[in-house]
Structure 1
Amino acid sequence: MSTPPPNPYSGAPVPPGPHPGAPAGQNPYGQPPAGANPYGQQPAPGGYPGQGGYPAPGQGHPAPGYPQQPQHPQYAAPYPHPHAQAPGCRQCGAPETANFAVRAHVGVLILMRFHTLNGPFCRQCGRSLIRTMTTKTLCQGWWSPISLVIFTPFTLLWNLFAAMKYAKLPHPTPAPGRQPLEEGPPVHARPLAYVAIIPLLWATWVAVNIFLDVSGRR
C-alpha cells in the first residue's frame, strides 16, 4: 500500500519538492510568522506599504481638508472692489444725500414698463431726476387701462413724496472733479407733461357716462 502525499495546508514540514526557490523543509503554503508582512513588501518609513513612502495621516502633514500652512501676504485679505460705491450722491459724490428711489412708468395697451433709480442722491440730482421721470410718466404712463387706474397714479404719488424728501436737503457740495445734474425747468413748465390731459379727459368722460347710466339720469 502506497503512502498518501503530505497535506500542504496542514502546516507540517514538507520535504523538498519541485520548487527550487523554497528552502528545504519549509512549506510554501504555510502560515507566515506572527507580525510578518504576508505580501512580502516592507512598508516605507512613516508611510503606507507599497506607496513609495507617502506619509500617513497625522505624520508630517496635517489631516486632508484642513491645511495649516501660513497664507501668502498677497492673499491674506481680499482687495477692495475697484467699482465699490463710495458714500455720498451717486452722481456727484456730495455727502448731503437722501436714500430714496425715483420712479417712472410707461403703459401702452397691454405693455408696461417700470423704471427705478435707487439713491442716494443729493438735493440737486434728486430733484433733477424727479422732474425728468415724472414728466416721462405724465407723457407715456396713461395709455394702458391698468396703468391709468393703478400704476401711473402710484408712480406720481411716489415721486411727490420723493420731491418733498429731497427738498429738505441743503445745497450739495459735490466731490472734486464731479458735477451735479442740472435741475432744469419744473414739471409744469415742460410741454410733454400736458400730454396727460388727453387720457385724463377720456377717463373722465367714460366715468361720467357710466355714472349717468347707473343712476338712470340719462
Structure 2
Amino acid sequence: MHPPAQADGTAWWSVAPYCRICGARPALQVTVHAHQGVLMWMRFHREDGPFCRSCGIAVVRELTTKTLWQGWWSPLSLVGFTPIALICNFSVRRKLTTLAPPGPSAPGATRKIQGKPVHQRPLAYVALVPLAWVVGFFIPQIIPAIITHI
C-alpha cells in the first residue's frame, strides 16, 4: 500500500515536519504547557513542537510533573489554570501516542529520554498537599451545615 499523497502529489513524509529536539520523523506540531502558582502571582510556560513521539512524551512528562508539584499554590491556579494545563497536556499526550515510532535522529542530535511515567515520579504527589488542605478546610465547614439542615 502506498502512503497517502498531498494535494500536489508528493508523499506525506516528504513534507512532514522534523522533531525540533532530535530531528526525527514523523513529528507533530503540538504545544505542551506548564503552570506555576505562587501565592498571589502565577507563571506560565510552554514548549512548542514539532515533536516526535519519544521527545514529545518526554516533554509532556517533564512539564506535567512540574505543574503537579508547582501549579497549585495560588487561588486562581488551584481552581483554574493548573487543571486546564493538565487537561491540555493529557490531550497532547494522546495525540503523540498515535504517531508511528520515530525514525533515525538527525546526525549529531540526541533524542530526549522519556524517563519514568508521571505517576512514578515522587514530585507528582506534592499535588496531594493542596488537595488535603482543601478537604481539611472545607469538609469541617460543610458537614455541620449539612447536619443542621437534616
TM range (shorter): 0.7 to 0.9
How many residue pairs get aligned? The number is: 133
Q: With structure 2 as the length reference, what TM-score do the two structures score? A: 0.82
Q: Which structure has the larger Rg? A: 1
- Structure 1 gap segments, 5+ residues each: 1-85
Which letter does structure 2 place at the counterpart of 1:157?
Answer: I
Query: Which runs of 4 or more aligned residues in structure 1 lie more than 6 Å from their structure 2 counterparts after TM superposition?
Result: none
Q: 2:56 aligns with which of 102, 106, 126?
A: 126
Partners in 2 of 1:181 and 1:152 — Cα distance? 25
In terms of fraction of residues, the more helix-rich structure is 2
Partners in 1 of 2:39 and 2:23 — Cα distance? 40
In terms of fraction of residues, the more strand-rich structure is 2
Q: Tell me the SS of whatever aligns to 2:62.
A: helix
Q: Per-residue displacement from partner, 1:115-139 (whole Å, max 9, x unpaired)? A: 0111110000000001100110111
Q: Which residue of 1 aligns with 2:110?
A: 179
Partners in 2 of 1:212 and 1:178 — Cα distance? 58
Partners in 2 of 1:147 and 1:114 — Cα distance? 10
Alpha carbons 2:30, 2:48 under 8 Å: kept: yes
Identity fraction in percent: 48
Pairwise CA RMSD of aligned residues?
1.8
Partners in 2 of 1:217 and 1:125 — Cα distance? 55
Structure 1 residues 167 and 87 mapped into 2: Cα distance closer, same or farther (>3 Å)? closer
1:202 aligns with 2:133: yes
Q: Tell me the SS of whatever aligns to 2:64.
A: helix
Structure 1 residues 161 and 177 mapped into 2: Cα distance closer, same or farther (>3 Å)? same
Partners in 2 of 1:153 and 1:134 — Cα distance? 11
